[in-house]
């Protein structure tokens, strides 16, 4: 399998060549040159496989430059009951007839990002050792992504992580999660400013091509293709868990921000998994709901990005959307490059009538938005009706699922985080603090390790230079 850019300006590359990169050199996102297809007979074969074997079968369709035995071992080492809490890896529970919750957040940081990041950690270590290379991941986080990256990369050979976060702005739980890591390759940097300033510092490092190359700076952001591939697997697992016969249609509902998670659902559907609807759930930051209900994509600036009680969805520019629109346009890279040069310049675009219908009728997309009050009332009603605590992001998904549900068709809501991460909102909704997994009780009392920096690029560079050895 070779990879191309959505904007048409990259000669095809292998999986290993794109794994450690971010954007394609032309500013686009990488996509497989062709989408692998699975027929009903093949799907039936996969239906009963345990998670690691299923994941290997799917991932190997996208990776042909790692020997199968090695890839199989990497996948098996990633998806274990030790790391994900059960042999099922993504257990599916029934809320009521034809309404299901697929748990994606039982990994080390209690959010679905672990599903992909844990695999990425093992893939990175393998490829770096094989090619005798090193990578220094520099990122900014306000919560979930940074901790998922650190838990995936901790102790991995050839990898250093430098994670910037706004000093004093994360929840005590999130801070403890990251700062309690003691591995010497993990560097937590508390910046005495806001999240935007952290992000600007990371951007400045990435815009300095010489520095970036000399110090082997990389990233693991949401556009990384390896993350999308890993996420495709759990749509298969969820489908097989609820479909009575392989071939019947199933709907999926996905709390969305950067469009990474549901982009994997789109890929699974393109591969032939019988997904009928893909429902994009947003919060008050409803750029994606606007797109799927009007065909207009208008990313917003930080001045129109609201802080909500489902904070990991507070995104008003959905980077992975470019991948779906590439397919929607029949993979016409020239038209896509035109649209996205507008986006990069701060403009929006409007789909043609024909493409607008296509994204519903051919690609199955629907969308919905919810508010803080919706989240509270849905957390409450799920707790009252089914005895289950769901987190605020999953509550956004629950609302969207009810709106688009067809009682005769199975609907799977993806649970993207555990309520334990959002104590305040849970308390507000149901008057009690959520339960914490036993392993995390007392997390805030562990010793913390971090450095403090001012929001200053020169200071960050000096910090990196001092710690990056050849
Ligand atoms: C990151 C995240 C999301 C959004 O996922 P995307 O892939 O960015 O669409 C939703 N919920 C939680 C809890 C997350 O951490």
- pLDDT tens digits for range 425-457: 999 999 999 988 888 899 999 999 999 999 999
Return the residue whose CA atom lies nearest to atom 2 of ligand 1. Answer: 312
Q: For helices 457-467 and 195-207, give the axis angle rounded to 10 degrees.
A: 60
Q: Which of 13, 72, 113, 399 is catalytic?
A: 113
The radius of gyration computed from the CA coordinates of the chain, to the nearest angstrom, equals: 21
- Ligand 1: distance of its center to the CA of 70 in Å? 30
Q: Please tell me the predicted confidence (pLDDT) of residue 470.
A: 59
Is 3.40.50.1100 the CATH classification of the domain at 86-109+225-430?
yes
How confident is the model over 141-164, as a mean pLDDT? 92
Instruction: Give me 223's structure tokens.
Output: 């556009």
In this model, does residue 89 exceed pLDDT 80?
yes
C-alpha 141/C-alpha 197 separation (Å) is 11
Q: Which atom of ligand 1 is nearest to the CA of 315?
A: 8
Cα 392 to averaged position of ligand 1 atoms, centre (Å): 11
- Band the pLDDT of 304: cuts 50, 70, 90: confident
- pLDDT score at 195: 82
How far apart, in whole angstroms, are the C-alpha atoms of residue 412 and residue 250? 8
Q: Evaluate whether 411 touches 251 at the Cβ level (below 8 Å).
A: yes
- 432 and 419 Cβ atoms separated by less than 8 Å: no
- Residues 6 or more apart from 136 whose CB is under 8 A from it? 159, 160, 162, 215, 216, 217, 218, 464, 468
Residue 156 appears among annotated catalytic residues: no
And the tokens for 330? 């029949």
Contacts (Cβ under 8 Å, ≥6 apart) of 104: 90, 112, 115, 234, 414, 415, 416
Q: What is the mean pLDDT of residues 69-93?
A: 97
Cα 416 to middle of ligand 1, angstroms: 7
If you write DSSP's letter for every residue of 313-362 in order, what string do you get? G--SS-TTHHHHHHHHTTS-HHHHHHHHHHHHTT--EE--HHHHHHHHHT
pLDDT digits (tens, 9 = 90+) for 212-232: 999 999 888 888 999 999 999
Structure tokens at 198: 């952290």
Burial 34-43 (b: 16+ CB within 10 A, else e): ebeebeeeeb
Among 110, 416, 434, name the best residue to mutate to test ligand 1's pocket (greatest count of ligand atoms within 8 A of Cβ).
416
Task: For ligand 1, pick from 177, 230, 256, 281 the residue to mutate: most ligand atoms within 8 Å of CB.
Answer: 256
For residue 217, the model assigns a pLDDT of 92
What does pTM read for this prediction? 0.96
DSSP 13: B
The pLDDT mean for the chain works out to 95
Q: Cα(307) to centroid of ligand 1, in Å?
A: 15
Return the residue whose CA atom lies nearest to atom 1 of ligand 1: 312
Residues in CB range of 9: below 8 A, 6 or more apart = 24, 25, 26, 27, 28, 333, 337
Choose which residue among 393, 396, 419, 420 to substitute to test ligand 1 binding: the one with the highest number of ligand atoms within 8 A of its C-beta. 393
pLDDT interval class at 414 (50, 70, 90): very high
Interval 245-274 mean pLDDT? 97
Atom nearest to 421 CA in ligand 1? 13
Mean pLDDT for 373-395 is 98
Instruction: Give pLDDT, residue 183.
Output: 97
Q: What is the mean pLDDT of residues 84-108?
A: 97
Burial classification of residue 206, based on how many CB atoms lie within 10 Å of its CB (0-12 exposed, 13-18 middle, 19 or more buried) = middle
Residue 142 has pLDDT above 80, yes or no: no
What residue's CA is closest to ligand 1, atom 7?
260
Higher pLDDT, 222 or 189: 189
User: Would you call 192 helix, strand, or coil by DSSP?
Assistant: coil
What is the CA(257)–ligand 1 centre distance, in A?
6
Indicate the range of 26-30, 267-271, 428-432, 434-438 predicted with least confidence. 434-438
Q: How does pLDDT run across 328-367, given as a tens digit for each residue? A: 999 999 999 999 989 888 899 999 999 999 999 999 999 9
Pocket, ligand 1, Cβ cutoff 6 A: 111, 113, 144, 222, 255-261, 312-313, 393, 416-417
Unique residue bearing structure tokens 């980077």? 319
Residue 160: pLDDT above 90? yes
| 131-153 b/e (C-beta count within 10 Å ≥ 16 → b) | eeebbbbbbbbbbbbbbbbbbbb
Predicted pLDDT at 127: 96
Q: Residue 116: is its pLDDT beyond 80?
A: yes
**Which residues neighbour 412 within 8 Å (Cβ) at sequence distance 6 or greater?**
92, 100, 101, 102, 238, 239, 242, 250, 251, 252, 253
Residue 315 pLDDT grade (very low, low, confident, very high; cuts 50, 70, 90): confident
């Amino acid at each position: 399998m070779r990879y191309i850019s959505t904007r048409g300006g990259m000669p095809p590359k292998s999986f290993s060549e794109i794994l450690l990169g971010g954007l394609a050199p032309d500013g686009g996102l990488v996509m497989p040159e062709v989408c692998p297809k699975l027929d009903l007979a093949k799907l039936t074969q996969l239906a009963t496989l345990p998670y690691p074997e299923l994941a290997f079968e799917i991932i190997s369709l996208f990776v042909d430059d790692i020997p199968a035995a090695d890839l199989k071992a990497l996948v098996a080492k990633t998806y274990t009951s030790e790391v994900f809490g059960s042999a099922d890896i993504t257990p599916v529970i029934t809320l009521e007839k034809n309404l299901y919750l697929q748990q994606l957040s039982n990994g080390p940081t209690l959010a679905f990002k672990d599903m992909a990041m844990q695999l990425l950690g093992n893939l990175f270590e393998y490829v770096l050792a094989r090619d005798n290379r090193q990578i220094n991941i520099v990122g900014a986080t306000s919560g979930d992504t940074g901790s998922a990256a650190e838990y995936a990369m901790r102790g991995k050979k050839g990898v250093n992580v430098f994670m910037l976060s706004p000093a004093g702005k994360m929840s005590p739980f999130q801070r403890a999660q990251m700062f309690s890591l003691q591995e010497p390759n993990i560097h937590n940097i508390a910046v005495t400013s806001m999240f935007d300033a952290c992000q600007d510092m990371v951007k400045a490092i990435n815009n300095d091509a010489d520095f970036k190359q000399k110090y082997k700076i990389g990233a693991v952001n949401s556009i990384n293709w390896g993350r999308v591939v890993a996420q495709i697997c759990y749509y298969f697992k969820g489908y097989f868990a609820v479909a009575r016969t392989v071939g019947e249609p199933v709907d999926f509902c996905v709390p969305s921000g950067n469009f990474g998670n549901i982009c994997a659902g789109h890929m699974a559907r393109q591969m032939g998994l019988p997904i009928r609807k893909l429902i994009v759930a947003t919060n008050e930051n409803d750029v994606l709901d606007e797109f799927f209900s009007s065909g207009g994509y208008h990313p917003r600036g930080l001045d129109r990005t609201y802080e909500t009680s489902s904070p990991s969805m507070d995104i008003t520019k959905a980077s992975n959307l470019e991948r779906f629109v590439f397919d929607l346009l029949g993979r016409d890279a020239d038209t896509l490059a035109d649209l996205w040069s507008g986006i990069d310049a701060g403009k929006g675009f409007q789909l043609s009538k024909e493409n607008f219908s296509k994204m519903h009728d051919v690609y199955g997309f629907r969308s919905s938005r919810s508010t803080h009050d919706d989240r509270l009332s849905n957390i409450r009603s799920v707790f009252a009706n089914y005895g289950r605590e769901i987190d605020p992001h999953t509550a956004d998904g629950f609302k969207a699922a009810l709106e688009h549900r067809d009682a005769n068709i199975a609907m799977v809501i993806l649970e993207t985080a555990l309520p334990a991460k959002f104590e305040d909102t849970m308390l507000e909704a149901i008057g009690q603090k959520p339960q914490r997994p036993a392993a995390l009780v007392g997390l805030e009392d562990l010793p913390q390790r971090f450095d403090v920096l001012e929001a200053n690029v020169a200071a960050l560079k000096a910090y990196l230079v001092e710690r990056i050895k050849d």
